[in-house]
Structure 1
């Protein structure tokens, strides 16, 4: 898709979010949102319909950010998850669609009788 690269990437001291800046637009992506929408096979499964609902991630933090070449970020989370590579297109999608994605996540949790807490 070739969405823009962020002009700035910041991890605040409390590590509860990733801050991305694209031009004059700032996006605040919570660690929880990033974790439950990780592009890893553990979360996405290996095909359509194989997604795994992530539960109990309210308190998750980002423990490490590493560049993956020039195309992605590898994010390590406090629950040990570190297998998803967030490419620039996917990060831009998460940033610009986060309200819809968040509501979808909350709805799926409710339907499953699951919780954001452990």
Structure 2
């Protein structure tokens, strides 16, 4: 497993961008997910990254790009056409091709049909 010192590179000499260990990045930087949770969206390229070692990928560090919070902006509002298109796409993901029912969940792609149809249950007629 790697060492914490291997991930500390604030000058960007080893990793080409300033790199910090998990939870040790300077104030004013956030990951994309953290910005989205604040209702913001990154503008411009990432300026740094945070790295950590995970049990999921032993010996290989994982990373997340960091963006300046002060340059982030709210996302652009969606047009009525985009909203309608997304609603239609979600409804098609929830509609079972076997029974025609619109489910409250997206159909599993591994099955291609709703779980009652996959289990052999049919809708009451």
Structure 2 length as normaliser, TM-score? Answer: 0.22
Larger-gyration structure (1/2)? 2
Highest RCO, 1 vs 2 (Cα 8 Å, sep ≥ 6) = 1
Structure 1 length as normaliser, TM-score? Answer: 0.23
- Give the structure with the larger strand fraction: 1
